[in-house]
Chain A
Amino acid sequence: MKLDARVPAGPIAEKWDRHKFDMKLVNPANKRKYTVIVVGTGLAGASAAASLGELGYNVLNFCIQDSPRRAHSIAAQGGINAAKNYQNDGDSVYRLFYDTVKGGDYRSREANVYRLAQLSVNIIDQCVAQGVPFAREYGGLLDNRSFGGAQVSRTFYARGQTGQQLLIGAYQSLMRQAHAKAVKLFARREMLDLVVVDGKARGIIVRNLVTGELERYVGDAVILATGGYGTVYYLSTNAINSNVTASWRAHKRGAFFANPCFTQIHPTCIPVSGDHQSKLTLMSERLRNDGRVWVPKTKGDKRSPELIPEEERDYYLERKYPSFGNLVPRDVASRNAKQAADEGRGVGESGLAVYLDFKDAITRLGPEVIKEKYGNLFQMYNKITDEDPYKVPMRIYPAIHYTMGGLWVDYNLMSTVPGLHVLGEANFSDHGANRLGASALMQGLADGYFVIPYTIGDYLANNPVPKITTDHDAFKEAAQNAQNQINKLLTVKGNRGIRDIHRELGRIMWDDVGMARTDASLKRALQAIPKLREEFWHNVSVPGSADNLNQSLEYAGRVADYLEFAELLTRDALDRKESAGGHFREESQTPDGEAMRDDDNYSYVAAWEFKGVGATPELHKEPLEFHEVHPSQRSYK
């Protein structure tokens, strides 16, 4: 099968406009005859479901949580980018496009990224109209800040709760459509299989998490907006119900998985405190605007921080990257922290932390200003660690945060299964090998509010499908497939906890497929993962039954999928012998230790085709061409 990204012809700035004109439209009176299934109610799913409802489609919308408003997007803190150039500081659609392609280390598709930058401005208009209370200046205009090392101030924010406010905006629009009966909502449902009929995505099998029943839903197209797979590492900043299940089961039905090894590690998280830890808490990277990162110069220096004199401290980011200092991109900051810890210079009890020190900023600006800027973050840190960052430096360490990889999609956001569209973090499309801060919210909303409402119409108009019911054999087979997995999980009756196995998987992934990967470590992981999978299927304990709310069963299903998916992620990492963005192969670095791409051999999207559990998947390559932004070695010196 040849991958066709279906990128429209023409100059980059005109592609989307031309495409919008070229796409077929669905007659307004016919829209309600089409049923579109949307899985997920995060920024991508809620905005898509609401917008399709507004257009008149009949929408069925599913989520795992008890309410669509609780999707993981709610936790995003920092902000959302848009090329509004309200600050008159030189921003433009082209600059946002350029920064995103470069920030992604030249592993994304130019045409998609350009469209994202174009649509960014509409997102802000839409959200403000919904009543999203973005921060304002005294004159009443919208405020912006510079985020994640960007040279312009293009980030819009609502205190430290930007994701919450954007999601509530989308959720309110969604509930308005639910009230109008254009959208039917199904909360506490978990998608367990995709139903493909005559080669086209026609439905899903979900488990009703309250009654335990397997339910079947049929439609004319299916949209997945089910988020990222960061929790394959067990500990991450993601919500604990985040999973790869929907994507993975779609992958098994023919959707190619692209660039799974592109994972992002966030440098400023609160370090692990013990084995009981269930997730990691992110501290906004805004903190790096005023905090200085350091470790002791000498290995094993266990003195408390205030006893370590200035000259015995190593402000390593400022030392190595004089022009960017503490504001280097996430991957660079993370790798340097790991390096310090590997050298035995890490701080705190575990040695797996570095200091983020506000002493100088407090002296320069006064504690009041610091409180105004970071009060809620300092409070959160204090709550979790019982330490006061006004007095002692914070301890931070990198953690898995975001996954750039995802199901492969073309320019229309359609996967390799016709009719199956994928939005938000679940697709691979716009961030290449590294996502810039404040760009995930932008992508999720662009996909949902402004891309899919057009491209789904084109698909539906071009692909009339016969009427079928959920009695179709394909539905029976898929439901049986889901049922078999559930039965299997409940009959193992071993004596190992599900969490214990997930934790072990996380350790393998973090140690061997984490911030720095080598040929040897990846091969080690490829041995260990199938073994752990065996162990799971022989020795896991899943108590309870399938006919009611059973959180152990839900969790076990997700871990089972991770035990398969982890192998694909690792294989992709092994296959990509270059370093790029968040994927750092120790074999491929510049003399001063920076990630080194290999454009001659790896300037492609790796799209994997499923060939069976444990079997070698088939690699398909989508070559990447850069007509606008010319690949160069990233340098933050």
Chain B
Amino acid sequence: MRLNLKIWRQAGPTAPGRLEDYTADSVSPDMSFLEMLDVVNEGLIVKGKDAIAFDSDCREGICGTCSLVIDGVAHGPDRGTTVCQLHMRRFKDGETVTIEPWRAKAFPVVKDLVVDRSAFDRIIAAGGFVSINAGGAQDANNILIPKDVCDAAMDSAACIGCGACVAACKNASAHLFMSAKISHLSLLPQGQQERYTRVTAMIDQADSEGFGSCSNEGECEAVCPKEIPISNIARMTREYVMARLSK
């Protein structure tokens, strides 16, 4: 297969960026999308040209590092799939594919397709935890948690923090990301003590980072590689209202 690529190149955070044309030759259907880019890069490198910068690490859909917008869709065309798990058999010979970075005010471009998502870390730091020091825990089986509650918490905890939800949202809202963490912890007995301070602190932090608000577009849910449902946002909103009322 041969593909025409239009790839976003940007030298640094303040430099102007633009789409540049590349071709990917002898693409095998068994390649992952990132392996296709590896091959393009290897071609550039042997010619002494600057390789296209893009992030990835685990390449199996769990670390949340990879972050490409393909033809306008965060993580590309396959539902419930990170771009590192997307395979080239999904594309047709001769197709033109556009590759861009996450775009959001709170995720500034570092270089080419690489963005800075440290705002997510600061949101977690603001309250996305249970305050327990090492050594202070009781026996694990003293805390009983019904299986369905635990399963629901796990569904939300499955978030990989990739930021596709933000990239897909026209408001660049971090609500799906935040609500996944808030749901995970507020469903569990361990998370009850800090339930209200957590939701308030995290939402305040997101506001100060420049993430937008939620207007129920549902784009976040559609691109989430872990298929985290938007019902988490409704739960977060309830938690937030309760927190305000309890003040």
Chain A residues within 8 Å of B, Cβ to Cβ: 47, 50-51, 54, 65-70, 72, 74-75, 84, 86, 122, 124-131, 133-142, 158-159, 161, 163-165, 168, 171-173, 175-176, 178-179, 185, 187, 210, 239-241, 273-274, 276-279, 281-282, 380, 383-386, 449-450, 453, 493, 495-500, 541-544, 548-549, 551-552
Contact = CB atoms under 8 A, between A and B. Distances in A.
20 contacts: A65-B57, A65-B63, A65-B65, A69-B64, A75-B60, A139-B144, A140-B147, A142-B140, A168-B157, A173-B132, A175-B121, A178-B121, A178-B125, A179-B125, A274-B30, A384-B87, A385-B30, A543-B45, A551-B51, A551-B53
B131 interface: yes
A129 B87 contact: no
B19 interface: no
Given A47-B134, A67-B118, A552-B51, A278 B59 contact: yes
A453 B85 CA distance: 39
Contacts of A498: 45
* The 8 residue pairs across chains A and B that have the minimum distance between CB atoms: A140-B144, A172-B129, A129-B137, A125-B137, A175-B125, A128-B140, A273-B30, A179-B125
Contacts of B161: 67, 69-70
B82 to A, nearest CB: 10
Interface string B153-168: 1100110110000000
Nearest to B112: A549
A67 B157 contact: no
Nearest to A82: B140
A164 B160 CA distance: 8
A172 B154 CA distance: 16
Contact of B46 (A164, A185, A497): A497
A185 B118 CA distance: 11
Most chain B Cβ neighbours within 10 Å, of A125, A163, A282, A385: A125
A172 B151 CA distance: 20
Contacts of B241: none
Contacts of B138: 125, 129
B21 interface: no
A548 B51 contact: no
Given A129-B138, A383-B81, A141 B11 contact: no
Most chain B Cβ neighbours within 10 Å, of A129, A164, A239, A281: A129
Nearest to A141: B141
B145 to A, nearest CB: 5
A128 B143 contact: yes
B219 interface: no
Given A66-B117, A141-B144, A158-B154, A131 B110 contact: no
A133 B184 contact: yes
A276 B38 contact: yes
Contacts, number: 230
B64 A136 contact: no
B147 A138 contact: yes
Contact of A136 (B53, B147, B157): B147
Nearest to B26: A276
Given A385-B30, A549-B110, 8 more contacts: A86-B141, A133-B150, A164-B62, A175-B121, A240-B56, A450-B135, A549-B53, A552-B51
Contacts of B89: 386
B132 A129 contact: yes
Contacts of B118: 66-67, 187
Given A383-B85, A552-B51, A126 B137 contact: yes
B38 A129 contact: no
B204 to A, nearest CB: 13
Nearest to A187: B118
Contacts of A70: 57-58, 63-65, 161
Contacts of B136: 129
Most chain B Cβ neighbours within 10 Å, of A241, A499, A543: A543
A133 B183 CA distance: 12
Interface string B3-37: 00000000110000000000000001111101110
Contact of B140 (A66, A125, A138): A125
A130 B129 contact: yes
Contact of B129 (A141, A176, A386): A176
Contact of B121 (A67, A139, A277, A541): A67
A270 B70 CA distance: 26
Given A69-B64, A133-B188, A159-B154, A172 B42 contact: no
Given A65-B65, A142-B141, A273-B30, A135 B132 contact: no
A416 to B, nearest CB: 27
B136 to A, nearest CB: 7
Contact of A133 (B39, B124, B153): B153
A500 B45 CA distance: 11
A47 B125 CA distance: 15
Contacts of B184: 131, 133
Interface string B197-234: 00000000000000000000000000000000000000
B130 interface: yes
B87 A165 contact: no
B131 A239 contact: no
Contacts of B46: 495-497, 541
A541 B59 contact: no
A66 B188 contact: no
Contacts of A128: 137, 140, 143, 190
A122 B39 contact: no
Most chain A Cβ neighbours within 10 Å, of B42, B63, B136, B151: B63
